[in-house]
A and B are shown apart, each in its own frame.
Chain A
Amino acid sequence: MKPLLSWLDDPTIFRVGQLAAHSDHQHFLNQKEIGNKQSSFVTSLNGQWQFNFAKDPQSRNRHFFESDFDSASFEQINVPGHIELAGFDQIQYINTLYPWEGKTYRRPVGSLKDDVKQQAPFSEDDDNSVGQYLTQFDSPHRENNEKCILRFEGVDKAMYVWINGTFIGYSEDSFTPSEFDITDYLKPHGNKLAVEVFKRSSASYIEDQDFFRFFGIFRDVSLITQPKFHIYDLDIKPTTEENLTVGRLNIGIKLTASAAIIGGNVKLAVADANGKLLFDETSDLDTHIEFSDLRITNVHLWSHNNPYLYRLTLSVFDENGNLLELIPYQFGFRKMEIKNNVILLNHQRLIISGVNRHEWNDKTGRCITKQNMLDDLDTFDKLNINAVRTCHYPDQIEWYHLCDTLGIYVMAENNLESHGSWQKMGAVEPSYNVPGSLPQWREAVVDRARSNYELLKNHPSILFWSLGNESYAGDDIAAMDQYYHDMDDSRLTHYEGVVYTPEYRSRISDVESRMYASPAAIRQYLTNHPDKPYLNCEYMHSMGNSVGGMKEYDDLIHDFESYQGGFIWDFIDQALLVKDEVTGKPVLRYGGDFDDRHSDYSFSGDGLLFADRTLKPAAQEVKYFYGQY
């Protein structure tokens, strides 16, 4: 297949050669590897790569991916990381308007009746930086028929990939893993991986989040070998009977086979949190396997106060009885429902004492460590925070596992925001809104819903699927909502942007969600025959010296059963620690401090924490009110 640069312009092309999205389980060779949390099937490709920066598509090197290309002139870059923070491209912070504001004129494909005259907006326009990455690796050890998958956890904004000079795929959706089967392209030693990353593409329209606009390979890259029979998707469906004392477990398995299935089996073991074995079942090997209707009496429910997790282990054996892989997964039973206009978790009214959390590190941007996550969860515990909205994209996978373990309720948000297409200078002006009801954009956004669902479906911590943030509403977002309802009856859908399009109210969002509504406005909604339970997806804007008046929101919890709390905006200031050009001391800088224009300056400094993860003074107020429940 020949890669085309015009894919950058075309919203209907967002994944080429990628493997289908699947659950986020890991596979291991044996119990010891599980204990060490280190799978020998996984080889990290993180580290120093060769790198060439081009300020626009025209000046990029057109041969860099070729096997015999001489890359002596290339520089070095650390993977993962943002290209801007490595010093190659200008740092920019901007909120709602598109980052090319005032620099180049663009309109989304299909959004205006007569498509405006514009050059191929991303492939030919010179406002589009390019990062060209090269690295070499030896093939990981593989048994016969084992496959090798190349996996990127997150690459912003659009990426073309070559192995040994052969094009293998293209992907968008910056915050979602991309996988490519490279088995057939590998040689034993010195494989050359070439990745070309563009700062902008049509996906820029739907990734207009309020944050520093970084590009590049910013999450882990790894090689994953898979045995000849491999569980690639695991669908754990724990349900409860009405009285909540009996749990029922259905497990669906999809298996890939790179050799003929002539026997073999999959063993399932389920243990409780103390390791006591509850089920031990075996099924013949097949491409689809179901373990159905496993019944647990006196089931332990999962909740914030008692995040009880059962332990599933799947073992795959070949026809000779050889263990090929082991898959551990922890899951929980909990019941989410709306009754009498109140969201109930395990028959109890759900009260969300939440925060919005961007992944942030003041030195490395959105490239964060597990320690950052643990520190954040420690702060959650200190401040009595019980819920998080992953604004406005899926987080690193580890985050969801930690939330399962620690009992943090998650609103799992899609990587979707098109703010600049419908709101300008504060006014609602959706004349060229995307995705809207445009057919050209529908698959791109439904694919994001699918990826988010398939990847994260087994996490008990996820109570809500959030369709996206501040993208207005139309048939396309309604299709995302429909997708989640088709796939999942154990969670609710959430979307705020439908407040502007009441005609979609019945098709989008199970909850009435608003942002920054005053306590008086919320009171008005709740006293006038509300038809959906209410939550604040964003409230208490913690910019600078703020977070006054929390009591007015707290009062609503006491006054209205259908008021379910909300998520404070937000958890941590997004500012960058840099060396002061005058004193040489480390200082925190914000938008506009890098000569970046157009900018929204300090507007990303809205955290309960300063960017260096120290608490703002208002934290004691949050701790107090959130500690009431």
Chain B
Amino acid sequence: MDNIKEQMHVVYGDGTLGLNGLNYRYIFSYEAGGLESMLIDGKEWVYRTPRPLFWRATTDNDRGNHFSEKSAVWYSADMFSTCQKIKVAVNGHPIELPVAPVNNQYTSDEVSNDVDICFTFVTATSPQTTVDMNYHVEHDGEIKLTAYYHGNDQLPELPVFGIRMVMPTVATSFDYCGLSGETYPDRMAGAQQGQFHVDGLPVTKYLIPQDCGVHMNTESLLVNRQTTLNNADTDDNEFSLKIHQSAQPFAFSCLPYTSEELESATHQEELPVPRRTVLSVMGAIRGVGGIDSWGADVEPPYHISAGEDIEFSIVLNAQS
């Protein structure tokens, strides 16, 4: 029996695609444009579907050299990009989008070894470009999430490109294997490699709230929570989501706020009461710079051209 793989149940719903396994139940929403629910061991990990991440809250240096003004279209892209196309493949074979009446052909007992579902976002920029967010779900529950940005050289440089996931409640801590402290592409030489535990979701207390908390070159990440929004859930044991690198290490930040929330505050005390966990996983980040804070650009290797394609992957609910 050992060589018989545990298969994944596929629920061809009318507005969603459900994938159920031994200890997980995922729901992909065609309307919301992504992974709407990631229930693992009975605990929900998704508050709002993961979306492409294009904005970082303006740093003092970004403000000084007018980067945010020049690249402001990415702020609107971060807020208002929309999912316009969805593709599904089962066991590697593309199928017609299984909404009614196409899904009438299926049964209550559909199984699969793996499923791919790809959501294509069109950016709220002018001109527009697209981002594909492909979820490759294995029967064991691992999700390899790949984000692919299609370059357009008519667009200004990017602050960041990644994936933002919002979790329903505030994490109690996170553990990661990567670099010590807060690091950026042009500020990571002094970091130590290791395994780190971070209590709470600390926001670096820069005088004006701004992008912070990035950890470069990360191999794996464990986000630990204790609470859910499920009224029937009385269990208060800690539970964790494991995220692992795919081919390349990733960068991440784990904060209680979105870029826009940080962007809007002029002081730390203006930030809202923490309610969610905002996990940003990044494939490309602009450097922070440091020559001065009133015009000097970030050094050339630490820019992100909008004209080049960017692709990166992570593994959610990693099993290894």
Interface residues of A (CB under 8 A from B): 426, 516, 518-519, 539-552, 573, 575, 580, 582-583, 585, 587-590, 593, 602-603, 605-606, 610-611, 616-618, 620-625
B156 interfacial contact with A, CB 8 Å: no
Which of B265-320 touch A at CB < 8 Å?
A: 267-269, 287-294, 296, 298-299, 302
- Is A602 a contact of B190 with CB atoms below 8 Å? no
A545 touches B302 (CB 8 A): no
Q: B187, A550: Cβ atoms under 8 Å?
A: yes
Contact B296 A544 (CB under 8 A): no
Query: Complex Cα distance A624/B181, Å?
Result: 13
The 4 closest A-B pairs by CB, nearest first: A624-B190, A544-B60, A617-B182, A548-B186
Q: A551-B189, A575-B207 are in contact. Are A426 and B294 (CB under 8 A)?
A: yes
The complex places the Cα of A415 from the Cα of B294 at a distance, in Å, of: 25
User: Which of A540, A585, A590, A605 is in CB contact (< 8 Å) with B290?
Assistant: A540
Q: Is B129 an interface residue, CB under 8 A from the partner? A: no
- Given known pairs A550-B290, A580-B269, the reply for A545 and B212 (CB within 8 Å) is yes
Q: Is the CB of A549 within 8 A of B302?
A: yes
Chain B residue at minimum C-beta to C-beta distance from A622: B190
Q: List chain B residues, Cβ under 8 A from A540.
A: 290-291
Contact: A625 with B186, CB < 8 Å?
A: no
| Selected contact of B291 from candidates A549, A588, A590, A616, CB within 8 Å | A549
Across the interface, name the chain A residue whose C-beta is closest to B56. Answer: A545
Does B220 make an interface contact (CB < 8 A)?
Answer: no
Interface centre among A516, A580, A590, A621, by most chain B C-beta atoms within 10 angstroms, is: A621
Q: How far apart are the CA atoms of A541 and B64 in the complex, in Å?
A: 11
Q: Which residues of A contact B291 (CB under 8 A)?
A: 516, 518-519, 539-541, 549
Closest B residue to A587 using CB positions: B269
B269 and A585: CB pair below 8 A?
yes
Q: Is the CB of A573 within 8 A of B189?
A: no
CB under 8 Å from chain A, chain B span 177-209: 180-192, 204-208
Which of B180, B191, B210, B268 makes the CB contact (< 8 A) with A545?
B210
Cα distance A516–B189 in the bound complex, in angstroms: 21
Shortest distance between the CB of A355 and any CB in chain B (Å):
14
Report which of B60, B187, B204 forms a contact with A543, defined as CB distance below 8 A: B60
The answer to whether B206 touches A544, judged by C-beta atoms less than 8 angstroms apart, is yes
Structural contact, A548 and B210, CB atoms closer than 8 A: no
B59, B290, B296 — which one has the most chain A CB atoms within 10 A of its CB? B290
**Roughly how many angstroms separate A444 CA and B184 CA in the complex, as a whole number?**
47
Are A587 and B267 also in contact (CB < 8 A) when A546-B290, A548-B184 are? yes
A602 / chain B contacts, CB cutoff of 8 Å: 60, 207-208
| CB nearest neighbor in A for B213 | A617
Q: Does B61 count as interface, using CB distance less than 8 angstroms?
A: yes
Q: Which of A549, A605, A623 contacts B206 (CB 8 A)?
A: A605
The answer to whether A621 touches B187 (Cβ under 8 A) is yes
Q: Which residues in A have their C-beta under 8 angstroms from that of B208?
A: 544, 602, 605
- Smallest CB separation, B50 vs chain A (Å): 24
Give A618 to B267 CA distance when docked, in angstroms: 20
CA distance A547 to B189 in the complex (A): 11
Q: Which of B60, B185, B192, B269 contacts A546 (CB 8 A)?
A: B60
Once A546-B61, A625-B189 are accepted as A-B contacts, the answer to whether A587 and B268 lie under 8 Å apart by CB is: yes
From the candidates B190, B207, B287, name the one contacting A625 in the complex (CB within 8 A).
Answer: B190
The chain A residue with its CB closest to the CB of B185 is: A548
A573 to B288 CA separation, bound complex (whole angstroms)? 18
Q: Does B116 contact A (CB under 8 A)?
A: no
Do B60 and A545 have beta carbons less than 8 Å apart? yes
Q: Is B211 an interface residue (CB 8 A)?
A: yes
- Distance in angstroms between the alpha carbons of A550 and B188 in the assembled complex: 10
User: Total interface residues on B, using CB and 8 Å?
Assistant: 40
Closest to B182 in A: A617
Interface contact B184-A624, CB-CB below 8 Å: no
In the complex formed, the residue of B with least CB distance to A426 is: B294
Closest to A618 in B: B187
CB <8 Å contact, B211 and A545: yes
Residues of B whose CB lies within 8 Å of any CB of A are 59-61, 64, 180-192, 204-208, 210-212, 267-269, 287-294, 296, 298-299, 302
Cross-chain contact B267 with A549 (CB below 8 angstroms): no
Contact call B298/A549, Cβ cutoff below 8 A: yes
Nearest B residue to A605 via CB reads: B207
A616 to B180, CA, bound (A): 13
A15–B59 CA distance with the chains assembled, in angstroms: 45
CB neighbours (8 Å) of A590 from chain B are 207
Are A546 and B59 in contact, with the CB atoms below 8 A?
yes
A573 surroundings in chain B (CB, below 8 A): 207
> Is B190 a contact partner of A620 (Cβ separation < 8 A)?
yes
Contact assessment for B290 and A542 in the assembled complex, using a CB-CB cutoff below 8 Å: yes
Provide a sorted-by-A list of 11 A–B residue pairs whose CB atoms are within 8 angstroms: A426-B294, A519-B291, A542-B290, A549-B290, A549-B298, A550-B187, A602-B207, A605-B208, A617-B204, A621-B191, A622-B190
A547 → chain B, closest Cβ, in Å?
Answer: 5
Knowing A518-B296, A539-B291, A580-B269 touch, does A620 contact B181 (C-beta < 8 A)? Answer: yes
Which B residues are in CB contact (< 8 Å) with A618?
182, 187
Residue from the list B184, B205, B288 in contact with A610, Cβ < 8 A? B205
**A539 CB contacts on chain B under 8 angstroms:** 291
Out of A583, A611, A616, A621, name the residue touching B189 (CB < 8 Å): A621
In the complex, what's the smallest C-beta–C-beta distance from B62 to chain A, in angstroms?
A: 9
Q: Is the CB of A548 within 8 A of B287?
A: yes
Centre residue among A540, A543, A551, A623 by max chain B CB count within 10 A:
A543
Chain A residues with CB under 8 A of B60: 543-546, 602, 605
A605 to B63, CA, bound (A): 14
Instruction: Tell me the bound Cα distance from A575 to B290 in angstroms.
Output: 20
A624 shortest CB reach to chain B, Å: 3
Are B190 and A541 touching (Cβ within 8 A)? Answer: no
Contact B290 A541, beta carbon cutoff 8 Å? yes
Q: How far is the CA of A593 from the CA of B268 in the complex (A)?
A: 13
The answer to whether A546 and B288 touch across the interface, beta carbons within 8 angstroms, is yes
- Closest beta carbon of chain A to B301's beta carbon, Å: 9
A549 to chain B: which residues have CB within 8 Å?
186-187, 287, 289-291, 298-299, 302
Most chain A CB neighbours (cut-off 10 Å) among B191, B289, B292:
B292
Q: How far is the CB of B224 from chain A (nearest CB, A)?
A: 22
CA distance A546 to B181 in the complex (A): 14
Q: In the complex, A46→B147 CA distance in Å?
A: 65
CA distance A544 to B209 in the complex (A): 9
**B204 engages A545 (CB within 8 Å):** yes
A590 to B267, CA, bound (A): 9
For the complex, give the distance between the alpha carbons of A550 and B185 in Å.
Answer: 12
A616 and B183 CA atoms in complex are apart in Å by 11
**Beta-carbon contact of A547 and B205 below 8 Å:** no
Residues of chain A within 8 A of B210, CB atoms compared:
544-545
User: Which residue in chain A gives the minimum CB-CB distance to B179?
Assistant: A620
Known A518-B291, A541-B290, A603-B293; 9 more pairs at CB < 8 Å: A543-B60, A545-B210, A547-B290, A548-B184, A548-B299, A549-B186, A605-B206, A618-B187, A620-B180
Look across to chain A and name the residue whose beta carbon is closest to the beta carbon of B206: A544
Q: Which residues of chain A come closer than 8 Å to B294, judged between CB atoms? A: 426
Residues of chain B within 8 A of A603, CB atoms compared: 293
The CA of A192 and the CA of B317, in the complex, are separated in Å by 77
What is the distance, in angstroms, from B29's C-beta to the closest C-beta of chain A? Answer: 35
Q: Is the beta-carbon distance between A543 and B293 smaller than 8 angstroms?
A: yes
Q: Specify which chain A residues have a CB less than 8 angstroms from the CB of B207 in the assembled complex.
A: 544, 573, 575, 588, 590, 602, 605, 611
